[in-house]
Structure formats: structure tokens, C-alpha cells
Amino acid sequence: MADDILPGDTQAQGEAGPQLRILTQYIKDLSFENPNVPRTLGPLEHQPAIGVRVDVNVQRFSETDFEITLSIGVDAKTNEEQMFLVELQYSGLFRLTNIPADSLEPVLLIECPRQIFPFARRIIADATRDGGFPPLLIDPIDFVTLFQQRRGDLSGAPEGTMPN
């Protein structure tokens, strides 16, 4: 009987398989600058130029617990006049168990940020809306490509090096 595992017995099945749990998520830092208000709030002659920067950082707290910080910066200008700047560091504390060593880095740098991105996106949309602009809805981010670019940048780093 001890060997009988029922299909709905997630506790018995989950202990053996890989698990990714979000323990909590939070804003580490949020900055919104609106330097040229109210000039930039009226009708615009040209579409604003909006630049978005994204970075992912990992900090290990224990054998199974990791803090993933998604840093997103947005710079919006029209005719070289600053409209707004947004800087957000949004983090999640993740518990990873039974993840194979060769899969750990992709899980940390692809899957974990993918889980918290929608929340960071909403925070930026709310901040731009509350700043007097239409809400900025950042396009979905391809974390696989971001990871591959990062791996290319770290190709000179010693093997086994994981980003901070």
C-alpha cells in the first residue's frame, strides 16, 4: 500500500519532481520623474520616443531560496524634451527544489522573471497613468532571448559563474 500513489496525490508527487514556488513578491525601488510637466501633458505634435531597458539579477539566500530582481527602466522623450522617466526594481523570492543543476540558471533567469513580469508591467502602467500620461503597457519580454544574450556576454567568464 505504501507504494500506491494516486493521480490526485500532489503532495507525494510534488516531493519527487521539480518545484518552483513564489514565496513573496515586492517593489524594491520605484522612481517616477515627470520633469517638464505640465508642458508635456498637452497634445503632442510627434509620437514620443520610448526606450525600455530590462535586466534580471539573482541573489541566493539559501540552498533553495533565491531573490530574482527584475529591473525595468523607461525613458520617454518628445522632440528631445524629457516627458517621463520610470525606474522599477521588482523582486520575487522563489523557492526552487529538485531542479537539476544544469537547469537551475535557465529557471532563475527565464522562468522566474516570466512569473513576476506581469506585476511589474502593471506597476509601470499605473505609475505612468498616475503621472498624467496614458498607461504605458510594455510589450511582453522574451526572457529566453535576454538569457541567450546574457550568456553571450558572459562567455569570457569562468565556467559555472552565475550572475549576481
The pTM for the full model equals: 0.79
Contact call for residues 35 and 56 (beta carbons, < 8 A):
no
**pLDDT computed for residue 154 by the predictor:** 58
**pLDDT computed for residue 155 by the predictor:** 55
**pLDDT computed for residue 161 by the predictor:** 39
Q: Which residues contact 93 (CB under 8 A, 6 or more apart)?
A: 22, 23, 24, 25, 61, 65, 66, 67
**pLDDT computed for residue 164 by the predictor:** 40
Q: Which residues contact 20 (CB under 8 A, 6 or more apart)?
A: 94, 95, 96, 99, 107, 111, 112, 115
Flag residues of the chain having pLDDT under 70. Answer: 1-16, 153-164
Contact call for residues 55 and 71 (beta carbons, < 8 A):
yes
